[in-house]
Amino acid sequence: MSKLRTLIMGHKNPDTDSICAAISYADLKSKTEEGEFLPRRAGEINEETKFVLNYFKVKPPKLTESVKTQIKDIDIKHTKGVDKNISFKKAWSLMQELDVVTLPAVNSDGDLEGIISVSDIANSYMNIYDSRILAKANTRYSNIIETLEGTLVVGDQDAYFNEGKVVVAAANPDMMEFYIEKDDLVILGNRYEMQLCAIEMGAACIIVCEGAGASRTIQKIAKDHGTTVITTAYDSFTVARLINQSMPINYFMKTANLITFENEDYLDDVKDVMASVRHRDFPVLDKHGKYLGMFSRRNLLGAKGKRVIMVDHNEKSQAVDGIEHANVLEIIDHHRLGTIETIGPVYFRNQPLGCTSTIIYQMYHEKGIEIPPHIAGLMCSAIISDTLLFRSPTCTAADKAAGLALAKIAGIDIEKYANQMFASASNLKGKTDEQIFHQDYKTFALGKSTIGIGQISSLNEEELSEIESRLMPFLIKLHESSEEDMMFFMLTNILEQSTRLICVGSGAMSLVMKAFRIEEGAYDVGDAGVIELESVVSRKKQLVPSLVLGIQM
């Protein structure tokens, strides 16, 4: 039985804490609980986080753009593929044994060649009146032997009956000469003269019924004439009824315009297709087109979403696409409570700390798990990033204690390392306006308004000025097609502990001035502008709470 898989991921446009918390918590969960815990990311990694991951030689989490339920998230029926040359009878027996109504025909390379259903078999019996159908289907003698539970006396079981018609020899030998032709398959009894007549008339095969044998003389003559001889315990009537069941399924199976699904397909899309057709079962293929199993409407009944643990956020607007379809198990966060809704009760740990990784550091200690140096380095980096090396007002004594302890485990000089890390984040050469804007951008629902807030922190004042001149026109144009009522972008100077805030949208500048009690007339109030905010460096603890109060005023 495969392990339950749980994805641990942060918000869209992930920052260092979002990525490092996902990796660290996956490590902790893997060491304390059963199952497979996988870190994931919901967006592109910024320059600062790339530096951190490279420094500690950790691979970036895989990108997951949606957690909508896919076929691979639910149990499908792993009906084994069959060879397209098996008989109808064997196919029917397998359907009864496996309790299925459809069988996939799959070759040795795993490629789907067709499907055969109960209705296909039923139609073959009801609509076949052609005595040459056995030959047209290119039926292998081994199928005939298996179907009739017979014994091959003369001939090659791997040869094919592919010419002539099926004849029941009920008349005397004189009459047989008028209706038996060359290459026919003749069903007859134990009478020597009838067997001899059929062979001499050029029959491709004779089936001797009711347990009667074929004498050595008949066997020799048959061999000389190239006639296959099969004996069976069934009577002629039963053999005549059963013989068509020996035909290979490939003659009647569906091979064209098959409706198949891929393992990666989303259930919403699958439901739409299933609603438009009457099929009960659908083949599932992997991304290389290889057969995996069968999917039916019954599988939809027990469908459950992806298992997800959210870190460093709890708002739907910031979560990966499709979070409403996911089975959210836990939320580990340090932000204000947002709008996420869950299917059932969850473990929710939200603490007023400067960084999610501080919470995870505490959880390592609570569970008595030793922190590996590379994991310590990641968590320390997240704390440095979120608290601006303990300078941010969001920083608590717990954050600082955790950061210093983790730096010791990771073996780094925290001051020197922090400067390298911040410098890497300021390296925006070659970045487009859009890449800079989305590097750390979050949306928030504040009352009836939806606002977006981006942020870049830098040690370089000249670089911040250049970014301001680029982003102001970019935000104005972007806001025209945006769903956000207002858009803000924080240009934070780490050394000076201040922020120049780009404000775009009707009422954006007025809201900021009201929120921070800036005197009227200090700035020209329009639909776009820049406001200087001294001692403001935190989006979470300073800007968002102030904007909330400003809206309520």
Longest dimension (CA), the chain: 121
Q: Are 5 and 30 in contact (CB under 8 A)?
A: no
What CA–CA distance (Å, rounded) separates 455 from 439?
8
Structure confidence by residue, pLDDT tens digits, 300-312: 776 778 999 999 9
433-552 has CATH 3.10.310.20 classification: yes
What proportion of the chain, given as a percentage, has pLDDT over 90?
A: 58
Alpha helices in 180-315 (DSSP H): 192-200, 216-225, 236-242, 267-276, 297-301
The pLDDT confidence band at residue 174, using thresholds 50, 70 and 90, is: low
Predicted pLDDT of residue 128:
63
- Examine the pLDDT at 551 and tell me if it is beyond 50: yes
Residue among 163, 201, 174, 171 nearest 189 (CA): 171
How wide is the angle at C-alpha 244 spanned by C-alphas 242 and 250, nearest 5°?
Answer: 135
Q: How does the average pLDDT of the chain come out, rounded?
A: 90
Kindly list the domain boundaries of the chain, sorted by start residue. Answer: 5-69+305-425, 88-251, 433-552
Range among 69-78, 333-342, 502-511 with highest mean pLDDT value: 502-511
The pLDDT of 30-41, averaged and rounded, is: 96
Structure confidence by residue, pLDDT tens digits, 416-437: 999 899 888 766 667 888 888 8
The pLDDT of 193-197, averaged and rounded, is: 89
Structure confidence by residue, pLDDT tens digits, 389-424: 998 888 999 999 999 999 999 999 999 999 899 888
Residue among 209, 217, 242 nearest 87 (CA): 242
How wide is the angle at C-alpha 87 spanned by C-alphas 84 and 89, nearest 5°?
Answer: 135
Alpha helices in 33-112 (DSSP H): 47-55, 88-98
- Examine the pLDDT at 275 and tell me if it is beyond 50: yes
Structure confidence by residue, pLDDT tens digits, 225-265: 999 999 999 999 999 989 989 999 999 899 888 899 999 99
What CATH architecture is 5-69+305-425? Alpha-Beta Complex (3.90)
Q: Tell me which amino acid residue 546 is.
A: S
Lowest mean pLDDT, pick from 84-93, 181-190, 347-356, 435-444: 435-444
Predicted pLDDT of residue 1:
47
Residues whose CB is less than 8 angstroms from the CB of residue 540 and which lie 6 or more positions away in sequence, other chains included? 334, 335, 336, 394
CATH for 88-251 is 3.40.1390.20
- Examine the pLDDT at 134 and tell me if it is beyond 60: yes
